[in-house]
Amino acid sequence: MTAAYSEVLSIVVVLSVGILVVPVMLQIISRYTDLIPSYIWTEELARFLFIWTVMIGAILGVRDSAHFDVDLLPNLGARGDAFMRIVARLGVLTIALVFVTGGIEFTKFAWNRTSELADLPLWLIHIAWPITGLSWIVFLGEQFTDDLRVLFGKTLSP
C-alpha cells in the first residue's frame, strides 16, 4: 500500500514541477515584455505549488531514506547499523510529530482565510505540513519494522 502511495506522490511531484513552470514563465515574460500583462496572482500560485513540491519531495525523501546520512560508526555490523538507523528515525519521527501537531494548528489558523490576490484558500498551503508529517509517520513505521527485524535477527519478508 505504501508503494502505491509513493508512486502517486512521485507522479504528483512531477506534475507539480511541470505546472510550476507555467506561472514562473508568465512572471518572467511579463517583467521583460509588454506581450503579457503583469499577473500578480501567478506569484501566489507559484508559491503554493513550490511549497507542495518541497513537501512532497520531503515525503519521498523519507520514504526512500534519501536524506543526508553521515556514517560515523562504519563497522557496527547489520544489527548495529539497524540500531543506529532506528535512533536516526526517532529524530525524524520527532520532527514528523511537530509537523502534525503544529501543522494542524497552522491549518486551523488559516481555515477561513484566503490569499490576497488570487483569493485561494490558505488552508490549501497550510495543510501540507500535517499531511507531510503523517506521511513521514507511515513510511517511518514501515522502516522501523524492517530495522527491528534486523535488530532482533528476523528475516525480512520480500
CA gap 143, 147 in Å, rounded:
6
Residue 102 belongs to some domain of the structure: yes
Number of other residues whose CB lies within 10 A of the CB of residue 145: 12
Residue 158 belongs to some domain of the structure: no
CA gap 57, 148 in Å, rounded:
26
Residue 136 belongs to some domain of the structure: yes
Q: Which range among 3-12, 31-40, 49-58, 137-146 shows the weakest confidence by mean pLDDT?
A: 31-40
Q: Which range among 9-18, 39-48, 58-67, 109-118 shows the weakest confidence by mean pLDDT?
A: 39-48
pLDDT at 157: 55
Q: What length is written for the chain?
A: 158
Residue 128 belongs to some domain of the structure: yes
Q: How many domains does the chain have?
A: 1
Residue 29 belongs to some domain of the structure: yes
CB-based contact 48:120 (threshold 8 Å):
yes
- Phi first, then psi, for residue 113 (nearest 5°) are -110, 155
Residue 13 belongs to some domain of the structure: yes
3-state DSSP assignment of residue 114: strand
Residue 82 belongs to some domain of the structure: yes
Mean pLDDT (the chain) is 87
Q: What burial class does residue 134 get, using C-beta atoms within 10 Å of its C-beta: 0-12 exposed, 13-18 middle, 19+ buried?
A: middle
Residue 4 CA, chain-centre distance (Å), reads 16
Host domain of residue 129: 2-151
133 falls in which pLDDT band (50, 70, 90)?
Answer: very high
